[in-house]
Amino acid sequence: MRIFKLCQLYASLLLLFATSYATELFPWLPPLFEFEGRLTPLFERVDRAQSPLGNFRAPINNASLQLGMDVTPWPNWNAEVELYLTHTHQTNFTYEAALCTLRYAWLDDLAGDDLSLVTGVTLSFPNHTFLHQLSFPYHGPINAEFHATVGKEWSCREDWLFRMWGVGGLGVANRGSPWLYSLIVAEGKTSLCTTVGLAIDALYGLGSHNLLPKLPFKGYASIDHRNIDLSGFFTYYLPHYGTFAFLGWYNLYAHNFIWHYWGVSLSFLIPLSII
């Protein structure tokens, strides 16, 4: 038991000093038959929540460990599985959610098309406990998000210098109302091995109810929730080993949602070729 508690404490401390975006959505698929593993510890701090019925304090610290693996098993197809493990003020370090994603590339600007276009679907299966916590916008025990990503790279010789891409998504669950999701990213290379970028993402729940400040939270399924976050990130590529990616984010706007929260994460991406 003592060893378990020490391991749990070590994991929590690691998360404090460590998103790349969780599910891989950018519109350039990894090479054929190449696996990419991802390890992402992250920490998020929440102080308040916004409600038209009255803002209220909601002090929350979330520490998570996200594990992912994706592969391009066939031309134009990409599949990914993920597992999230999370510690909050309400729960010990435990299973948060499992996700699986399938995507198809319709256009590829690297192959001569004007733009890259990838569409797909992500299924998520969260732990019931996290449906009743303010900082986790799951709508139901089974969630499906249909998304489309477009992007373009501007290159010099054999390497890209600047690229922009964006995502639009529609989500539904087995209860409650649908939601909309969007993400816009701009990134540029500062050297052969380093990249910096900015991103803005928004989530819009299509429910009709408000958060009730003095009552237990029952989930976002029927809530008219909205939020806009600004992110900045830095990546560093280590030849033959993988890529480190540091991400920080801050909430700019919230409606019926947690408000002015911030977070940081550190990802390590490891490519594994089977040919």
Write down the CATH number for the domain with range 2-273. Answer: 2.40.128.130
Which pLDDT does position 21 carry in this prediction? 54
Which pLDDT does position 17 carry in this prediction? 32
Which pLDDT does position 100 carry in this prediction? 98
Which pLDDT does position 16 carry in this prediction? 32
Which pLDDT does position 158 carry in this prediction? 76
Q: Which parts of the chain sit beneath pLDDT 70?
A: 1-22, 274-275
Which pLDDT does position 275 carry in this prediction? 63
Segments of the chain assigned E as strands = 34-50, 56-74, 77-87, 94-107, 116-126, 143-156, 159-173, 179-189, 194-205, 226-238, 242-255, 257-259, 262-273
- The 10s digit of each residue's pLDDT in 223-263 is 999 999 999 999 999 988 899 999 999 999 999 999 999 99
Q: Phi-psi region for residue 131, left (φ > 0), alpha (ψ -120 to 50) or beta?
A: alpha
Neighbours of 114 (CB within 10 A): 8
The helix/strand/coil state of 15 is helix
Which pLDDT does position 157 carry in this prediction? 77
